[in-house]
Structure 1
């Protein structure tokens, strides 16, 4: 049995990790850390996990004697935790942005932090780096927005069809984390759609860097906060450099994702829905419509807390530890 710890387990991503790991046949969660809730039963913070007989602990990372650790910690905090775990020989999936970039200078520019302890990590998007993840000791879990945008863009960039992509993403409020803020206060977000960090969101360079592995591309990205709890819809706009049909684009995506366990390519004209992926580790890709000006529109839907965070982290753990990638993640979405 693989012994696992979650550092920072009281947030939404921590709760989702616990939800999936509780039904994983090869894993035992032996520590879930939280300074704020030390010695508090997990069900008091995550009420849906009522039968999970475990309390939060305030153990330091150096005191964790486990095989695998998920660091569900804020950007900047992981870099002070992860190196000591890796040095001990513990496998780590980091859910922060601290180890996602090949170029530390890009991280420091966009996150406004000095990276004190850079390490080699594998970017944890199995659709890109499955074989590398299997051999990794440190995996950097992708950001939620980049997951939907990258999966939308790979076939176009790989095929050389588009060198400029515009990603317009709309996220549920849970993406802002468990701590309330003025932006997520119910009267401020209900009945509203709020663009933010319109040209400066730190996920833009992540999308750019990863799609750049498939070809020369420039990415523009704008996120929006919408009054739903879960999910990200990404609408990707491009102008293909040759004449294509919706059916041709659909077949291109089906070819790219034919063997992917967690990507479902819809028929041309079919639009992904947030409810279809809610609670699941699936990404739905669809639309593939082209307007009279030659603009191609591709749409993806993911659950930001699952495929965009904790579900992806569990899939990465499965790959790193030799389990089936889909283990404990097979459930479909919760529509309606």
Structure 2
């Protein structure tokens, strides 16, 4: 599978084919990127990974409450005297960015419902966008409104491409606006899409028991993520009403051609990063057959892996990396199987996947800047 177009897009023009704008590219050595909302966890992770990306230069960073500060005052780990640290611009307010067209690509790491108006002012003819919020993930405006409230740029919804690269690579390659998938939906969809596509599991009986580290709640101060609230315990939250449920259902429904509903329950556990999803499915096939289907679906993918038979995925297998690791196990109940899927919520579930999308959009090798191995211990 070809993951590199052999050139770099700088958004110099577009032509329309089949109702969608396609980019006209030219080769350049590097691109200038901006990070909006650079003071959060996803912004910090983008900085960490872009530091080793040979084709991307960070040309602007915004953080309204930290405007005017060097990034080293917000994240001391980026304040040392390295060449990378010295090259970073000071933080500014979003309103102080005067010319969006100066940047080849913008990462939007802003809270939900705040990105829409900003992106509506960005010239997508010259500047591409990877949005890490939920603002453009749901293609149905009514569904978005029901879960998030009024959408302030609905005309851009048709422009947005859902950036689950392993299943949307061609669409992402030609996109100007990519909606970076949510963390829980990434782990769930990567495990389920191939099996639903093969009609190997029931689409009406899917239970997802998901657990996430505290970074999934963002960096803002909240009582529920204080140390004493999280340490030495775990709890379910958003029961039957978590906003990632419709995002998961959208992706699975697209594959099956029918409305899919899932039983999805997330839990907060006392660790910094990582997601583990235990997924219970009904099937007429053996767990071994399901496992083989996943192996075949992802055998050419650099970031999705099926472990040897009987080996359980751990979050430590992927911590700090852009990998998703999964496996299939027999259930004690006849006609059922258990799938376990793990990712790092801040990397494959956010910033790493965003860079993967950038690489595809700009014609870079898809793994560029993402080759780092998991942290251990």
TM-score computed with the length of structure 1 as normaliser: 0.96
* 1:323 pairs with 2:364: yes
Select which of 118, 121, 125 maps to 1:84.
Answer: 121
Number of equivalenced pairs: 334
SS of the counterpart of 1:25?
A: coil
Aligned CA distance change for structure 1 residues 319 and 181 (closer, same or farther; 3 Å): same
* 1:137 pairs with 2:176: yes
Counterparts of 1:59 and 1:234, CA distance in 2: 36
Q: Determine if contact 1:62/1:85 at 8 Å carries over to the other structure.
A: no
Q: Which residue is equivalent to 2:14?
A: none
SS of the counterpart of 1:237?
A: strand
* 1:289 pairs with 2:330: yes
Q: Determine if contact 1:272/1:300 at 8 Å carries over to the other structure.
A: yes
Q: Determine if contact 2:36/2:94 at 8 Å carries over to the other structure.
A: no
* 1:162 pairs with 2:202: yes
* 1:254 pairs with 2:295: yes
Report the CA distance between 1:295 and its aligned residue. 2.2
Q: Which residue is equivalent to 1:6?
A: 35
Q: Which residue is equivalent to 2:5?
A: none
Q: Determine if contact 1:175/1:230 at 8 Å carries over to the other structure.
A: yes
Q: What value does the CA root-mean-square deviation take over the aligned residues?
A: 1.4
SS of the counterpart of 1:3?
A: strand
Select which of 173, 181, 187 maps to 2:222.
Answer: 181
Counterparts of 1:187 and 1:82, CA distance in 2: 38
Moved more, 22-31 or 57-66: 57-66
Report the CA distance between 1:193 and its aligned residue. 0.9
Where does 1:100-115 land on structure 2 (aligned, <5 Å)? 100-115=137-152
Where does 1:168-317 land on structure 2 (aligned, <5 Å)? 168-215=209-256, 216=258, 217-240=260-283, 242=284, 244-317=285-358
Gaps (5+ residues) in structure 1?
none
SS of the counterpart of 2:66?
A: coil
SS of the counterpart of 1:85?
A: coil
Counterparts of 2:247 and 2:226, CA distance in 1: 28
Aligned CA distance change for structure 1 residues 248 and 113 (closer, same or farther; 3 Å): same
Select which of 165, 172, 176 maps to 1:126.
Answer: 165
* 1:93 pairs with 2:130: yes
Counterparts of 1:267 and 1:287, CA distance in 2: 10
Report the CA distance between 1:59 and its aligned residue. 4.7
Aligned CA distance change for structure 1 residues 234 and 118 (closer, same or farther; 3 Å): farther
Per-residue deviation, residues 228-267 of structure 1 (Å, max 9, x unmatched):
0000001111111x1x222211111101111111101112
Q: Which residue is equivalent to 2:61?
A: 32
Q: Which residue is equivalent to 2:75?
A: 46
Report the CA distance between 1:182 and its aligned residue. 1.1
Q: Which residue is equivalent to 1:56?
A: 91
Aligned CA distance change for structure 1 residues 118 and 203 (closer, same or farther; 3 Å): farther
Counterparts of 1:283 and 1:127, CA distance in 2: 11
Counterparts of 1:48 and 1:248, CA distance in 2: 46
Report the CA distance between 1:156 and its aligned residue. 2.0
Q: Determine if contact 1:121/1:139 at 8 Å carries over to the other structure.
A: yes
Gaps (5+ residues) in structure 2?
1-29
Q: Determine if contact 2:237/2:266 at 8 Å carries over to the other structure.
A: yes
SS of the counterpart of 1:183?
A: helix
Aligned CA distance change for structure 1 residues 86 and 145 (closer, same or farther; 3 Å): farther
Counterparts of 1:287 and 1:188, CA distance in 2: 33
